[in-house]
Structure 1
Amino acid sequence: MGAISRGSDALPAVEPFSAEPQPHMGGAIEGKPLGFGSAGYVVLSYALAARVLRDSRFRNAALDLMEQFGITAGPVHEFRARSVLMAEGPQHMRLRAPLARFMGPNTVETIRDVLRDILGDIMHGMSGQVPFHTAVADPIPARIYCHLAGAPTSDAPKVASLSARTLSLLSRDRSLAPMILAAYDELFDYLRNLFARKKADGLGSDMLSFLIKEQEAGKLSPEELLNEATAMLEASSVNTSHQIGLTVWALLRNRDIWSRIRNDASLIPAAVVEATRLFPRPGIVSRIATESIDLDGTVIPQGTDVHVAIWSANRDPERFERPGEFDLHRERNQPLTFSTGAHGCLGQSLARVEMEEVVRYLATHYPNSVVVDDATEVAQVGGRWLVKSLAVDLRK
């Protein structure tokens, strides 16, 4: 990494979306918490990352990313422009409130029993080498979505596919634009049909019924109802399935950690947090400066892209002692994997519970399982950690 001059400042050169593994492990580079590359500014340190993510003057870049794919008008563009991701201030709180109320601690905790049943169903009779990512990690979040949304379990494969195809935006591969547009059109049709079935059959206690009741009470417009439900579905599966796979991969490869978890299940929540710190699926969170902003002596011009490198912040030695080590007793372990501030991930508690129950199920039913290295490929691509394949030898 060389240095790129930006006015009077010399910032380290960082390419956050490089297809190559990141040579920098984490934190500031030569004392600089901010870098610069072809995509814009890159936030490297934990402290500066948390500051940017909590600063409302940096808005979400999701709409701009969509426009870079050539999606500049039409229903998909309108959905993103009006979504909770793009809203700020009172409007953001109004749109976020229904999902936040439904996804409270009580709802999340009651999901544990549902998860155990789902895991028992998915993994019943499994033994020996299995493609864990596709056979286990992929179906779980989609099945949970169907439970929460009051959709048939048979819809889970469609839900997983829609989540994966719509969020292909994050790959930044513009050739995928036609596929992404088609996926959103399919998603909109799916939800409209699901709404109609729910209204015809009678609303229940599920999340979509809750949102429909909010709309009928005048708290959401019909367009906002569809947007809320769309945001819920697109975020429901693909990132969580990869984070489940990454967590299982990290824990099974560290035999000392795995042995301690097998002997003491109370360590599982800490193990999940530490795994998500070291191997965060959302490696980059992108923002845009809405005005000129001074970040530690560097003035970020209005309209400039600022990319928060979660993978770097999570391994910042100024925030985490021995950041590359897996520590089950790490104090103040609050990684930025699920972001922070007003736009922190609404589903983060649910995602953690999903990971915890997968780990608990393995430790209980397949305590001697191991990763099959020659059939597994885990990589950091474009800043994101992802599971290309994960084979696990399930051993009781």
Structure 2
Amino acid sequence: MTETLLPRFDPFAPQAQAHEGGALPDGPLALGPSGYTVLTYDLATTVLRNTRFKNAALELMEQFGITDGLAHEFRANSVIMAEGARHFRLRAPMARFMGPHTVQEIRGIVREIVEGIVADLDTSAPVDFHTGIDQRIPARIYCYLAGAPAADEPLVASLSERTLSLLQRDRSLTPVIVNAYAELFAYLRALIARKREQALGDDMLSFLIGQQEAGKLSEDELLNEAAAMLEASSVNTSHQTGLVVWTLLRDRDTWRRLVEDPELIPAAVVEAIRLYPRPGIVSKVATEDIELNGTIIPEGSDVHVAVWSANRDQARFERPTEFRLDRESNSPLTFSTGSHGCLGQSLARVEMEEVVRYLADQHPDALVVDDGTEIGQSGGRWLVKALTVNLNPV
């Protein structure tokens, strides 16, 4: 199919979210001012698993005018831009701490962190769930994994949010992004230096330092690995956690089932992230001419995988717009797939499960306060603008 015959679609336009999911009437592949858009589950999986489509993060950064300096150098050499043997070598150290088995071992720690954060709040009145709970949990868990002081939690959350504000595609944020990366690297250099002075522990950052001292990572690669871990640590998981809580508490029949049978919580979390995926779009760049669904995608073209659309593709999910706890083989693309699938997805799911489990156990009557809640979308992503929850309604 030629470009002129492809349907027109801009995944970043506000009206794009009106598309219920799956293929458009004229096909699963579209073309618009931002490039090509992939809308169906099968085609999205094909693109995400094809290493000839590289991550578009570096190109996006350059479009912001960030063409040199710390931020650009970090992104150009980061694990998400690497392929082949180098990608595997850089990914392996972090995968050791982010794999399903390791994450299950720290589930108890996650539970303690959730309990401690909620205990800090006055729950006699509705709480600001977004700033008071879901924004704090991932940053606190990062501090635990990195062996950083728990007092660094607000800084970690802020750095993650500011560096990844690149994904908002708002070029006025360029100074914010550049300054955030400078602050991030200064923080990590100081943290690494303190660890070397005080002796290494069994945390993830100490492990990476040990890898560098053993000659398996260069000093720059150590810093980049640590930066990638911090950058991705908080903001997306916090929003996704809020979206999960918002989804489940509004569906009172489902919520009662979870309260009565907590074994259903993992399935409920997966279904919620299918319907409301925080990473609404994964952007790639064709590294050569690539045939896709009968269309030749020219080298250098932007290809955007509309995750929210793939997750609601009726060819893959029966009654895709409905929340269903009984879905079989429920594998949404919220955390991507293939060799560049999200390293932290197991940890993120455990965080969400433990938040829901805590609420179901300790606050089974919790309700979303609509007047204090605003869920929106920006740059193709779902986000929590505000989320107010009454944990103990009368």
Partner of 1:81: 76
What SS is found at the alignment partner of 1:270?
A: helix
Deviates more, 1:194-203 or 1:120-129: 120-129
Report if aligned partners of 2:7, 2:26 keep a CA contact under 8 Å in 1. no
TM-score, with normalisation over the residues of structure 1?
A: 0.97
Alignment of 1:148 onto 2:145 = yes
Report if aligned partners of 1:20, 1:382 keep a CA contact under 8 Å in 2. no
Partner of 2:185: 188
Alignment of 1:130 onto 2:127 = yes
Partner of 1:3: none
Distance 2:192 2:227 in 1: 12
Report if aligned partners of 2:21, 2:313 keep a CA contact under 8 Å in 1. yes
Alignment of 1:36 onto 2:31 = yes
* 2:195 counterpart (198, 201, 210): 198
* 2:45 counterpart (35, 50, 58): 50
Report if aligned partners of 1:13, 1:37 keep a CA contact under 8 Å in 2. yes
Distance 2:26 2:316 in 1: 14
Partner of 2:340: 343
Partner of 1:233: 230
Partner of 1:112: 107
Q: Give per-residue Cα distances to partners, 1:190-244, cap 9 Å, x unaligned.
A: 0000001101111000000000000000000000000000000000000000000
Report if aligned partners of 2:376, 2:384 keep a CA contact under 8 Å in 1. yes
What SS is found at the alignment partner of 2:365?
A: coil
Partner of 1:23: 18
Q: AA paired with 2:214?
A: A
Partner of 1:386: 383
Report if aligned partners of 1:243, 1:281 keep a CA contact under 8 Å in 2. yes
Where structure 1 has 5 or more consecutive residues not aligned to the other structure, the ranges are 1-5
Change over 3 Å in CA distance of 1:20–1:388 after alignment to 2? farther
Distance 1:381 1:8 in 2: 27
Q: Please report how far the alpha carbon of residue 71 of structure 1 lies from its aligned counterpart in structure 2 after TM superposition.
A: 0.4
Q: Please report how far the alpha carbon of residue 147 of structure 1 lies from its aligned counterpart in structure 2 after TM superposition.
A: 0.2
Q: Give per-residue Cα distances to partners, 1:145-203, cap 9 Å, x unaligned.
A: 00000000000000000000000000011111111100000000000000011011110
Distance 1:377 1:21 in 2: 19
Cα RMSD for the two superposed structures: 1.1
Partner of 2:168: 171
Change over 3 Å in CA distance of 1:15–1:21 after alignment to 2? closer
- After TM superposition, list the pairs within 5 Å mapping 1:321-336 onto structure 2: 321-336=318-333
Deviates more, 1:124-133 or 1:24-33: 124-133
Partner of 1:215: 212
Distance 1:126 1:113 in 2: 23
Deviates more, 1:118-127 or 1:238-247: 118-127
What SS is found at the alignment partner of 1:387?
A: strand
Q: Give per-residue Cα distances to partners, 1:224-283, cap 9 Å, x unaligned.
A: 000000000000000000000000000000011101101100000000000000000000
Distance 1:181 1:203 in 2: 30
- After TM superposition, list the pairs within 5 Å mapping 1:343-382 onto structure 2: 343-382=340-379
Q: AA paired with 1:192?
A: R
Partner of 2:269: 272
Q: AA paired with 2:340?
A: H
Distance 2:161 2:273 in 1: 20
Change over 3 Å in CA distance of 1:50–1:8 after alignment to 2? closer
Report if aligned partners of 1:12, 1:36 keep a CA contact under 8 Å in 2. yes
Change over 3 Å in CA distance of 1:64–1:128 after alignment to 2? same
Q: Give per-residue Cα distances to partners, 1:111-143, cap 9 Å, x unaligned.
A: 211122112211115233011011000000000
Report if aligned partners of 2:126, 2:388 keep a CA contact under 8 Å in 1. yes
Report if aligned partners of 1:27, 1:44 keep a CA contact under 8 Å in 2. yes
Q: AA paired with 1:219?
A: K
Distance 2:63 2:202 in 1: 39
Q: Please report how far the alpha carbon of residue 328 of structure 1 lies from its aligned counterpart in structure 2 after TM superposition.
A: 0.4
- After TM superposition, list the pairs within 5 Å mapping 1:1-20 onto structure 2: 7=2, 9-20=4-15
Q: Give per-residue Cα distances to partners, 1:81-134, cap 9 Å, x unaligned.
A: 000010011111111011112222332012211122112211115233011011
Where structure 2 has 5 or more consecutive residues not aligned to the other structure, the ranges are none
Change over 3 Å in CA distance of 1:28–1:20 after alignment to 2? closer
Q: Which ranges of 4 or more aligned residues in structure 1 deviate by more than 3 Å? A: 6-9
Distance 2:139 2:172 in 1: 26
Distance 2:101 2:330 in 1: 23
Q: Percent identity?
A: 66
Query: How many correspondences in the alignment?
Result: 391
Distance 1:208 1:19 in 2: 40
Distance 1:382 1:30 in 2: 24
TM-score, with normalisation over the residues of structure 2?
A: 0.97
What SS is found at the alignment partner of 1:128?
A: coil
Change over 3 Å in CA distance of 1:215–1:254 after alignment to 2? same
Deviates more, 1:233-242 or 1:106-115: 106-115
Q: AA paired with 2:109?
A: V
Partner of 1:94: 89
Report if aligned partners of 1:142, 1:237 keep a CA contact under 8 Å in 2. yes
Q: AA paired with 1:97?
A: A
Q: Please report how far the alpha carbon of residue 9 of structure 1 lies from its aligned counterpart in structure 2 after TM superposition.
A: 4.6
What SS is found at the alignment partner of 2:384?
A: strand
